[in-house]
Each structure stands twice: as C-alpha cells, then as structure tokens.
Amino acid sequence: MSCGGAGCDDCQDGRWKLTECPVVYIGSAMVRRIADALKLVRFARHGLLPVGGGVLNQTIWFRDFCDFAWRHQDAIKAEQQAAAYGY
Ligand SMILES: [Zn+2]
C-alpha cells in the first residue's frame, strides 16, 4: 500500500477488501507462501513458535488438524459474539 495506511485513492483509510482471487495478481506460489506463513502465525497465537520443538517439529497431519480445529472454533466464537451483540 503506497500510502502506508494513511488512506489514498487506492484504499479506504488504509484498508482494502479482496474481491477476487489473489493468484491473478501475485501468482499461486506467493499465495501458497503467504498461506503457509499465516498458518504459522495462527500456531504462534497458540504458543507454538516455528522453532526447534515448536510447530515445525509436529507432524503435518497434527498441524493441519489443529489449524482446522482452531479455525472452526474461531468461526463459532465469532458467530456467537455476532449473535450476542447483534452484528
Ligand atoms: Zn492507501
């Protein structure tokens, strides 16, 4: 973002909404790298850093299952909060 988040003609107050597949703009390899990095961020939120003994030393199926479970738990929590606050 060229405005550094201050707001400009290309964004709304430093934010933009993704409305089509990002592969068109940055390619599938970069999308995969970003998705992998975001997965590591989700593990870090739960205290598993990508260091020795951390998330990268866990089996792939366990990492994928944790990520699946946490994402669904987060979605359920968001739905419950939306219902509670009338979003
Ligand atoms: Zn901008």
Q: pLDDT tens digits for 38-64?
A: 888 888 888 888 888 888 888 889 888
Give backbone dihedrals phi and psi of 12, rounded to 5 degrees, phi first: -120, 105
pTM of full prediction above 0.75: no
Give the span between the Cα atoms of 31 and 60, in whole angstroms. 19
**Amino acid 1: pLDDT:** 56
Distance 16 CA to ligand 1 centre (A): 8
Give the span between the Cα atoms of 21 and 28, in whole angstroms. 10
Q: Specify burial of residue 41 (Cβ count, 10 A radius: 0-12, 13-18, 19+).
A: exposed
Distance 17 CA to ligand 1 centre (A): 12
Asked whether residue 29 carries a pLDDT value surpassing 70, the answer given is yes
Distance 29 CA to ligand 1 centre (A): 25
Domain assignments of the chain as residue spans, ordered by start: 23-85
Give the span between the Cα atoms of 16 and 7, in whole angstroms. 10
